[in-house]
């Protein structure tokens, strides 16, 4: 493998088409498309300043590197990429990709990041600010996520999320086949219009969560006092620990919980309107 070390490159496509190459302590300065249409690349201790530095790169490993604010839209149309111990300050990363693995990565502007990524593995990821990360992505495996970005995990398919702390709004909308374990989910209107959404040992806060869902499963979850009008037009099997403030117009299924403040049913309840609610000793 060729090694390029302690150098700086700028301008248009300075490292276009390189293969079987390792970059060490390399800076990609102002310009565009610094490392484009490349294969089998290792990147360690590098700095990226200009736009679009890693497009159409297949087979790469990126470690201990920094992406500045100006490196927006830096990694698109690339497959089989691993990244670890990196800091990203630019928005709109990781689009139209297959097989992406991240570990110990922090993204300070997560705006429109992880769009249409198929095969995403995440370990210890931090996301800050921005909107719509993970949109339209599939086959996601997350263990360790801290995020305050808005509208996370919209339209995703086939995802498992573990040990997450998510502060957001309108998260997990129109998802399909998503399971969330041992996580804190803080935000309004969680999970609307989803199919086969399962939450295990999660704590949920925020207004009107988990409505308009087909096939909702809750196992040993807890809810904050601000959670009201829950489960409208939803079919579900739920075991809830502790108190729930308000449930409104559940469609069908079975809910077991410690205590219930109030149940709202009105003329808008959808058929079959036969959800059974049981209070159980904890």
Question: Whose CA is closest to 159, among 116, 121, 130, 185?
Answer: 121
Each residue of 209-246: pLDDT tens digit? 999 999 999 999 999 999 999 999 999 999 999 999 99
Residue 1: its pLDDT value, please? Answer: 87
Phi, psi angles (nearest 5°) of residue 74:
-75, -35
Cα dihedral 206/211/217/220 (nearest 10): 30
**Side-chain half-sphere exposure of 282, counting CA atoms within 13 A:** 11
Q: Which residues pair with 159 in a beta bridge?
A: 140, 178
Place of tokens 């579900």: 236
d(CA 78, CA 12): 19
d(CA 270, CA 275): 11
d(CA 176, CA 161): 13
- Whether the model clears a pTM of 0.75, i.e. scores above it, the answer is yes
**Domains of the chain and any CATH numbers:** 1-90 (2.160.20.10)
Q: Which residues pair with 105 in a beta bridge?
A: 86, 125
For the chain, which ranges sit under pLDDT 70? 282
List the Cα angle 240/242/244 in 5-degree steps: 75
d(CA 222, CA 205): 9
123: left (phi over 0), alpha (psi -120 to 50) or beta: beta
Residue 282: its pLDDT value, please? Answer: 58
User: What number of residues does the chain have?
Assistant: 282
């Amino acid at each position: 493998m060729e090694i390029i070390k302690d150098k700086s490159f700028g301008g248009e496509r300075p490292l276009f088409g390189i293969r079987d190459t390792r970059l060490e302590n390399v800076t990609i300065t102002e310009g565009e498309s610094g490392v484009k249409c490349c294969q089998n690349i290792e990147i360690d201790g590098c700095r990226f300043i200009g736009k679009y530095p890693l497009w159409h790169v297949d087979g790469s490993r990126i470690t201990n590197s920094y992406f500045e604010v100006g490196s927006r839209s830096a990694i698109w149309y690339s497959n089989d990429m691993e990244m670890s111990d990196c800091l990203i300050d630019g928005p709109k990363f990781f689009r139209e990709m297959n097989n992406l693995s991240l570990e110990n990565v922090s993204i300070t502007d997560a705006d429109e990041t992880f769009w249409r990524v198929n095969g995403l593995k995440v370990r210890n990821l931090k996301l800050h600010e921005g909107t719509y990360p993970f949109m339209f992505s599939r086959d996601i495996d997350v263990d360790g996520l801290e995020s305050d970005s808005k509208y996370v995990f919209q339209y995703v398919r086939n995802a498992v999320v573990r040990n997450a702390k998510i502060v957001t709004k309108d998260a997990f909308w129109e998802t399909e086949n998503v399971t969330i374990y041992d996580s804190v989910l803080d935000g309004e209107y969680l999970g609307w219009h989803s199919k086969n959404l399962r939450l295990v040992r999660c704590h949920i806060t925020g207004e009107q969560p988990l409505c308009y869902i087909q096939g909702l499963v809750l196992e040993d979850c807890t809810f904050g006092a601000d959670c009201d009008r829950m489960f409208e037009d939803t079919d579900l099997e739920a075991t809830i620990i502790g108190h729930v403030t308000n449930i409104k117009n559940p469609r069908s299924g079975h809910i077991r919980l410690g205590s219930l403040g109030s149940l709202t049913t009105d003329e808008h309840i959808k058929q079959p309107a036969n959800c059974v609610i049981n209070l159980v000793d904890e």
